[in-house]
Amino acid sequence: MAGTGTDLSLEPTALTWPGRVGAALSALRRAPLVTSTVLAVLLCSAIFAPIVAPHTPTQIDVGNSFSPPVWHEDGSWSNLLGTDKLGRDVLSRLIYGARVSLTLSLLIILIGGGSGTFLGILSGYLGKTADAILQRFVELILALPTILVALVFVFTFGTSFTSVMFVLSPFLAARFIRIIRGETLTVRERDYVAIAQVIGSPTHRILWRHILPNVFNTVIVLATLEVGHLILLESSLSFLGVGVPPPNPAWGLMVSDGREFITSAYWITLFPGLAILITVLSLNLFGDWLRDTLDPRRRQL
Amino acid sequence: MAASEPILEIENLVKHFPGPGGFLQRSSVLVRAVDGVSFKVQEGTTFALVGESGCGKTTVAKNVLLLERPTSGSIRFQGKEVQRFSRRELREYKRAVQAVFQDPYSSLNPRMRVMEIIGEPLQVHEGLGGRALRMRVGELLENVGLNPVTGGFFPHQFSGGQRQRIAIARALALQPRLIVLDEPVSGLDVSIRAQILNLLVELQQNFGLSYLLISHDLAIVEHMSHQVGVMYVGKLVELAQKDEMYGNTRHPYTQALLSSVPQPDPDIPMGNAISGEVASPIAPPPGCRFHPRCPLYQETAQCREQEPEWREVVSQHWAACHKI
């Protein structure tokens, strides 16, 4: 049958791969320049830490302790940002610290965010009893003071990278569950989900093909924003001595180490503090930008 | 017309929802969305369910599509009770009964390509994939008047009318017997409504489809349907063959609805448009539900207190009203 005659005035440009890559690139070009640069530098230094860092971060040189940054009269080019009380190079420790902070945050995002997304979708889609039980758990977790629980947990199981990971993941998961559940509740009401049910699509298919892709923007944005939050948490924990154990270079730990000497050797605390500030700020700004970009109502295509 | 077997029989269908409840307490009120509705859809014909918004016609559709479970009453498909289907029968039912919804922007997943959207029922039921799937989707696109190359596009690249064609192609994919059309053109520009309606009529003739058409637009109903049922606050008030319904309207509510259809000739005076609000399905008026708005109501206790009987006023023409 010959249809009833509509012309198909479709532009096939957005279909081809070069077109899509181009679109992605032009979107990236509109990204906030400062923020992306900061994040790129951070990421590169974390990945290539052994190449970039001028010294080994744990190398102790007591004879060279409290050496000030290079712009001071008695500063040296060998330690650009000075050294701490054990003569370790602050810059190298910052660079390796980025590695620790980012790895930890990304792992927690993967574990906590991944499981939170999964449970949030289940909770929102299935509703009823499963939803009610899960939401009570979420409320419980969200009502707990994170730092306090982490303190107790780490004192019990010892300070280590994995302890921090284990104790922070549920908190992150809870935040994901809350938000992704809400998002799922709106997507669930779309007609294409009802049609999939009418067709008889199995539940796992509906979750995977219809719900997940339509809540994924939120997942990405949430993950970006939460990385900043996690770095802050990890730093707080390290500062309190229950984070990543010394002598690993973690930013929070560095701030804590330099605390006693803040009047005489400010650089030991100032630079890791600045690193935390700039990183978290950049991640938040980047997350805001990402949220706006992925929101179809704000996207100009 | 319509001398064939009924494909869908709905008998005394009731659907009550719990009403708005307070904080931490169960609601005590019931929303009587559908309160005893019976009709039959004959094989190969269109049954139209008409009424103002909130009268429960979409709830009937959702019950037929198994998106809601009826509070009571029965739905029979090809003579078999839907509620007592075995797993295999249920699967067959989901093949045989498809739907097209009102909003073509909400009924297509924005993250899937047209190929995947139309292919989904084929993948789920026939495990089709690869070339076979692409061929079949191409055929379906041609059936609804779209170019098969559009299979690679995303929904946002189409206009509203084209999207509705895609939704129709998806509904056709499994060669269904019955398609529930819930306001299929209400979301579209007036200029393309006729195209979609003609397409639906054409497909019905070519594939021998039966339609359950849900609409509030009497002009569309007149164009498409063979039988018409008029609903008011959860109940049918009149049911007849289309020509009988339009030529020999009995119920005052149907008359009011028909006279409120705008006429293209400005010299024809507007009929007595119905006044007042649709009654609430939480607390429907006692007696005849329509009496507070009824032009025939003359303060008689009968209309106020006694529910009118559903009776055959003329052969094959049912209505519920004390005054006729």
Mean residue pLDDT across chain B? 87
- Decide if pLDDT at A17 tops 60: no
- pLDDT attached to residue A138: 94
Q: Among all residues of chain A, which has the CA nearest to that of B123? A: A201
Q: Is the pLDDT of residue B10 over 90?
A: yes
Buried/exposed code over A227-245 (b: 16+ C-beta within 10 A; e: otherwise):
bbbbbbbbbbbbbeebbbb
Residue A25's pLDDT is 67
Contact of B138 with chain A, judged by CB distance below 8 Å, is answered with no
pLDDT of A27 reads 66
Note whether B148 contacts A: Cβ–Cβ < 8 A: no
Residue predicted with more confidence, A161 or B230: B230
The helix/strand count (H/E) of chain B reads as 10, 12
Asked whether the beta carbons of residue B121 and residue A199 sit closer than 8 angstroms, the reply is yes
pLDDT at A210: 93
Are the C-beta atoms of B140 and B171 separated by less than 8 Å? no
Asked if residue A2 has pLDDT above 50, the reply is no
**Mutate which: A198, A214, A218, A300, vs B, most B CBs within 10 A:** A198
Q: Which of A259-268, B19-28, B135-144 is the least confident region?
A: B19-28
pLDDT at A81: 81
Q: Residue B1: its pLDDT value, please?
A: 45
* CA of A210 vs chain B CAs: smallest distance (Å): 7
Please report whether residue B322 resides in a domain. no
The answer to the question of residue B234 being in a domain is yes
A1 and B206 within 8 Å at the Cβ level: the answer is yes
Confidence band for B231, pLDDT divided at 50, 70 and 90: very high
Rounded CA separation B278/B56 (Å): 12
Residue B95 has pLDDT above 60, yes or no: yes
CATH number listed for the domain at residues A37-49+89-299? 1.10.3720.10
Number of domains in chain B: 1
What are the strands of the beta sheet with B72-77, ordered from one edge?
A: B30-42, B6-18, B72-77, B80-81
Residue B324 lies in a domain: no
Domain coverage including residue B134: 6-18+31-317
Angle in degrees, CA A81, A82, A83, rounded to 5: 130
Q: Which of A1, A195, A205 sits opposite B202 (nearest CB)?
A: A1
Which tens digit of pLDDT belongs to each residue from A65-113? 777 777 777 777 777 788 887 878 888 888 888 888 888 888 999 999 9
Residue A300's pLDDT band, with cuts at 50, 70 and 90, is very low
* pLDDT tens-digit readout, B21-76: 655 566 677 888 898 899 999 999 999 999 888 888 899 999 999 999 999 999 99
pLDDT score recorded for residue A20 = 64
Inter-CA distances, A13 with A10, A23, A26, A175, B9, Å: 9, 10, 15, 39, 49
At residue B46, the 3 state secondary structure works out as strand
B175 touches chain A (CB under 8 A): no
| Digit-coded pLDDT (tens) for B262-289 | 777 777 666 666 677 778 888 888 888 8
This model of the complex carries an ipTM of 0.87
- Return the pLDDT at A11: 42
> Is residue B89 pLDDT above 50, yes or no?
yes
Q: Is the pLDDT of residue A129 over 50?
A: yes
% of chain A at pLDDT higher than 90:
27
Q: Does A198 touch chain B (CB under 8 A)?
A: yes
pLDDT confidence of residue A1 = 39
CA distance B62 to chain A (A): 9
Q: In B82-128, at which residue ranges do the beta strands (DSSP E only) sit?
A: 97-100
What pLDDT sits at residue A29?
62
What's B271's domain CATH number? Answer: 3.40.50.300
B285 to chain A nearest CA, in Å?
A: 31
Q: How confident is the model at residue A246 (pLDDT cuts 50, 70, 90)?
A: confident
The pLDDT of residue A5: 39
Q: For residue A199, list chain B residues with Cβ-Cβ distance below 8 A.
A: 94, 98, 120-121, 124-125, 174
CB of B202 less than 8 A from some CB of A: yes
Q: Per the CB < 8 Å rule, is A191 touching B110?
A: no
Q: Per-domain residue ranges for chain A?
A: 37-49+89-299
How far is B197 from chain A, CA to nearest CA, in Å?
10
Cis-peptide into A246, omega within 30 deg: no
pLDDT given for residue A287 in this prediction:
83
In a domain, B26, yes or no: no
pLDDT tens column, B165-215: 999 999 999 999 999 999 999 888 888 898 999 999 999 999 999 999 999
Q: What are phi and psi of B9, to 5 degrees?
A: -125, 125
pLDDT class of A118 with cuts at 50, 70, 90: very high
Reported confidence tier of residue A28, pLDDT bands at 50, 70, 90: low
Of A252, A243, A233, A276, nearest to A161 by C-alpha is: A243
What's the confidence (pLDDT) of residue B24?
59
Percent of chain A exceeding pLDDT 70 equals 87
Q: Which residues of B touch A296 (CB under 8 A)?
A: 110
Residue B108, Cα to own-chain centre: how many angstroms?
19
- Tell how strand B178-182 and strand B97-100 pair up: parallel
Between chain A and chain B, the number of residue pairs with CB atoms below 8 A apart is 100
